[in-house]
Amino acid sequence: MKPFQIGAVLFPGFELLDVFGPLELFAMLDDRVSITMLAQTAGEVVSAQGPRAIADASLADAARYDLILVPGGIGTRKAVQDERLIAQLISHSEAVRYVTSVCTGASLLARAGLLDDREATTNKLVFDWVTTQGPRVRWVRRARWVVDGKFWTSSGVTAGMDVALAIIQHAFGREAAEDSARKAEYVWNEDSTHDPFAS
């Protein structure tokens, strides 16, 4: 059986846990998934916290994925102005089964118009800035994550791990999600409406 293909998007100033928290949980599925790190060009990308990650392939690559993961981070402030990146996100989003954003990653999807007329959420500390990137989005202020069609948007940083487990449950079944959480010794918040940071 062909592995579930995940493309994790990197850009300068991405948030470390937005990427590696969800990927850790997906990787618990072992050979059922294949993860590729993507960026404008293959090679090193500096995170918001300083450590670098290696992009395996360019976003311009013709490869097709089952899921695209779009993180947040301080780098989204510049990335929303990057027309090439936005166009590549649109192209990949059209071809995948799942598009998920963590934290301010929703600003990139919103700027691309991908969330227009859909419900979505994002990090509560910068909620007001992110929402300016998509005035036609039906932003949900109190939500750990929101699902609308193929788009799964999550709140700040660690919420990416909760939405990852929700996607695992949707794609692979509850037992797989529980197993990933157990292996990571992670307490899964299964309630998408439980958002203690909204207030």
Long-range pairs of 24-30 with CB within 8 A, sequence gap ≥ 24: 24/161, 24/184, 25/161, 25/164, 25/165, 25/168, 25/180, 25/181, 25/184, 25/186, 26/164, 26/168, 26/180, 28/179, 28/180, 28/183, 28/184, 29/4, 29/168, 29/172, 29/176, 29/180
Q: Which residue in the list 25, 80, 103, 110 is annotated as catalytic?
A: 103
Q: Report CA-CA distances (Å) from 126 to 105, 139, 166.
A: 11, 13, 24
Give yes or no: 191 in active site. no
Catalytic (active-site) positions = 103
